Amino acid sequence: MEKKDLKPAGVFKYFEEICQVPRPSKKEEKMIAYLKAFGAKHNLETKVDEAGNVLIKKPATPGKENLQTVVLQSHIDMVCEKNNDVQHDFLTDPIETEIDGEWLKAKGTTLGADNGIGVATELAILADDSIEHGPLECLFTVDEETGLTGAFALQKGFM
């Protein structure tokens, strides 16, 4: 198996992209910028709160506007651990991924799939115009790994 064979393809495309963006807890600025650029590229309303949480809204498919809004949530930071024999700076270096049998793994570091795969899934849904849906809001919170800082900082009315 190769990376190009991973399914669903859209999810793994975005997972590979975010693996290129350093995102340690309390240092999520590059990931926030990536999400803002994603929202702009897809012409989606995007806002960032004081804590750094990002909300990207996608309007309902025509005819589905009266459905209840669905909110999807994931966190953008990751646990940063590496093997002793690996040179890696989590503030600047991308996560190098590889296929090992049927597994996607990182080379000598944590993979960041908690919760990078959630972020990638939300991005794939936002980018896919073939999915019929009601109003959709995707919330990306900061600093989950060291204290749920972003979740605790959410203000009424942000979503």
Query: Which residues have C-beta within 8 Å of that of residue 100, sequence separation ≥ 6?
Result: none
Quote the CA–CA distance of 113 and 148 in Å, as a whole number. 17
- Which residues belong to the active site? 77, 144
Which tokens is 12 given?
């793994």
Residue 19 and residue 97 in contact, taking contact as beta carbons nearer than 8 Å: yes
Residue 88 and residue 154 in contact, taking contact as beta carbons nearer than 8 Å: no
The alpha helices in 6-95, defined as continuous H runs, are 9-19, 29-41
Among 109, 99, 103, 121, which residue's Cα sits nearest to residue 79?
A: 109
